Amino acid sequence: MRTEVRASTSRHAIVILAIVMTFGVSWSATAEGRTFVAVATGTAGGVYFPMGAALAEVWSTRVAGIQAMAQTTSGSVANVQLLGRGDVTVAFVQNDTAFYAFHGIGMFIDRITNRPRPVSTLRGMAMLHPETIQLVTLKSKGISSVQDLRERRVGVGAPGSASEVNARQILRAFGLSYDAIREDFLTSAEAADQLKDGVIDAAFIIAGIPTAALADIASTRDLLLIPIPWAVVDQLRAQYPYYTSVTVPANTYRGQERAVETAAVTAMLVTRQELEARLIYDLTKALWENVDRLAAAHGSGKDITLSAARRGMSIPLHAGALRYYRERGIK
C-alpha cells in the first residue's frame, strides 16, 4: 500500500496545519486514509499553477487512493528545494534548473564554501511545454533590440532564480553584462507590474505563452517583444544544450502583428527517487491519459505531447515513469 504521507489523526492534523500555514490553502478532512500528493507549481498568475491545479484534480479523481493538491510557490528553484527536503511529491521546474540542481552547479553551488550542493535524489517524470523566454518592453520606451538595453533598467528575475540565470546567459550572448545595464532583480509578477507602470524599461519573462501577466499589460499598453534571433539561440545551445528555438506567433498578444523569434527552455515534472515506482507509474499514466485537462487549463497545454515526454530530459527518469514509457514505446 502506498504511504507517501500516511499518518494517525493527530499527526494528520499537524501535517494539514503546516500546509495551511505555509501555503495558505485548506485540506479536506475526508482525505484521511488516502495517499497525499503535494504538487509544487509557481505563482498564482503564472502557467504552472493552473496546470498543477488541473493535474491535481486528475490525480485525485482518476487514481485510486490519491488526494492531490497544487501549491503556489515562487517557482523552479524553490520547487527543487521543496523536493530536496521531502516537502512535496511532484514539482514543475524548468529543465535547465533540474540540470543545475542534479549536478550541483549554477544556483546550487554553496556560495559560502563554493562547493556543489547537488540534489541527487531528483528524478524526471515528464517533459511538458516550452517555457518561452519573452524579452518584453513598451513601444514607448524606444527599445527594439537586445543591444538597446544598454543603460536601461531591466527586470532580470529574482536573485538566484532560473530566470535570472537565463537572462544573464542571453545578455552574454549579445556581448552584454550587468555592467552594461541597470539590472533589477524582480520576480515575473513584480517585473510585469513595474513594466506596466513604466518603472522599468524591459523585462525577461520566462513562461508558457500566452502569459496572463503580459496579456494584461497588452490590454492597456503597447507591448513589444524583443527578438532573440535563432542564430543567437544556436550559439547558446552550443554551450547550454537545454535551449531551443521557438516562435511567438503573431497576435499572441494584442497589437503584436508579427511573429517573433526567441529562445525557450522546457517545463518538466520532477519527483523524488525514493518514492515507490508504482506510485509514480500510476501518476505518470494518469497524466498522459488525461493530458487534455492540461490543455484546457492553459494554452501551453496544447504543446504537451506523449511523443515528446522524454525529449530534452535533463536528469535521470524515475523508475516508475521509465516503466510507463517503455510500455508505450516512448524513447
Residues 274 and 226 in one domain: no
Do residues 235 and 172 share a domain? yes
Say yes or no: 27 and 80 in one domain. yes
Tell whether 4 is covered by a domain: no
- With a pLDDT cut of 70, the percent of the chain lying above it is 90
Q: Is 133 helix (H, G, I), strand (E, B) or coil?
A: strand
**In-domain check, residue 3:** no
User: What number is the average pLDDT over the span 87-113?
Assistant: 91
Residue 82 lies in a domain: yes
238/323 same-domain check: no
d(CA 106, CA 223): 32
Shared-domain flag, residues 208 and 91: no
Residue that is last in its domain, among 265, 289, 315: 265
Structure confidence at residue 90 as a pLDDT band (50, 70, 90)? very high
Burial letters for 264-289: b for 16+ Cβ neighbours within 10 Å, e otherwise?
bbbbbbbbbeebeeebbbbbbbbbbe
- Dist. CA 190–CA 213, nearest whole Å: 10
Mean pLDDT of 282-300: 95
User: Bridge partners of 133?
Assistant: 206
Could you tell me if residue 289 is inside a domain?
yes
The reply to whether 245 and 176 lie within a common domain is: yes
Spatial distance between the Cα atoms of 208 and 266, rounded to a whole number of angstroms: 9
Pairing of strands 90-94, 35-40: parallel
What does DSSP say about strands 66-71 and 90-94: parallel, antiparallel, or unpaired? unpaired
- H-helix segments, 24-161: 48-62, 76-84, 95-103
| Cα 4 versus chain centre, distance | 24
CA distance 141 to 144: 9
Same domain (yes/no): 85, 38: yes
Three-state secondary structure call for residue 47: coil
Give the domain CATH number at 260: 3.40.190.10
Listed in sequence order, the residues at least 6 apart from 141 whose beta carbon sits closer than 8 Å to its beta carbon are: 152, 201, 202, 224
Nearest to 90 by CA among 255, 331, 320: 320
pLDDT computed for residue 11 by the predictor: 35
Q: What confidence tens digit (pLDDT) does each residue in 1-48 have?
A: 444 444 333 333 333 333 433 343 333 333 457 899 999 998 877 789
Residues 15 and 118 in one domain: yes
Domain stop point among 265, 284, 313: 265
Residue 146 lies in a domain: yes
- Tell me, yes or no, whether 113 and 192 share the same domain: no
Whether 258 and 135 share a structural domain: yes
- More reliable by pLDDT, 55 or 30: 55
Give the number of other CB atoms < 10 A from CB of residue 182: 13
Which alpha helices (H) appear in the chain, and where do they start and end?
Answer: 9-23, 48-62, 76-84, 95-103, 162-173, 188-196, 212-218, 230-239, 277-289, 292-297, 319-328
Show the domain range for 22.
9-129+268-328
Which has the closest alpha carbon to 263: 165, 183, 160? Answer: 165
Same domain, 26 and 97: yes
Tell me what pLDDT residue 148 has.
97
Residue 1 lies in a domain: no
Domain boundary among 215, 248, 265: 265
Q: Is residue 157 part of a domain?
A: yes
Q: Are strands 202-207 and 182-184 parallel, antiparallel or unpaired?
A: unpaired
List, for residues 123-152, the tens digit of each pLDDT value: 999 999 989 999 999 999 999 999 999 999
Interval 77-96 mean pLDDT = 94
Please tell me which residue, 303 or 13, carries the higher pLDDT value: 303
| Residues 261 and 310 placed together within one structural domain of the fold | no
Please give the tally of structural domains in the chain: 2
Structural domain includes residue 2 = no
Cα gap 121→123, rounded to integer Å: 6
